Amino acid sequence: MNSVQLSTITMNELATLKQLQENLGLTQGELGNRLGLSYRTIAEWEAGRQIPRLMMQLH
């Protein structure tokens, strides 16, 4: 899979993460706490500036 396809898939998945957060009524910090991550990590993922390692391994 080339990087363009990976980027598109990842951005769609990150949008789903944001939707999940909003549907649960959680802040980035609250979601981060539940996942054992910092709010900054969640914010970076949602902004597409970082890609979770797990997603990179799955694709």
CA distances, 35 to each of 6, 17, 58 (Å): 23, 12, 18
pLDDT in tens, 13-29: 777 888 889 999 999 99
Query: Are the C-beta atoms of residues 31 and 22 closer than 8 Å to each other?
Result: no
For residue 8, pLDDT over 80 is answered with no
Give the count of domains, the chain: 1
Identify the domain containing residue 25 by its residue range.
3-58
Q: How many CB atoms lie within 10 A of CB 54?
A: 8
Q: What is the pTM of this model?
A: 0.65
pLDDT mean over 4-20? 69
CATH number of the CATH domain containing 7:
1.10.260
pLDDT mean over 17-42? 90
Q: What is the pLDDT of residue 3?
A: 46
% of the chain residues with pLDDT over 90? 22
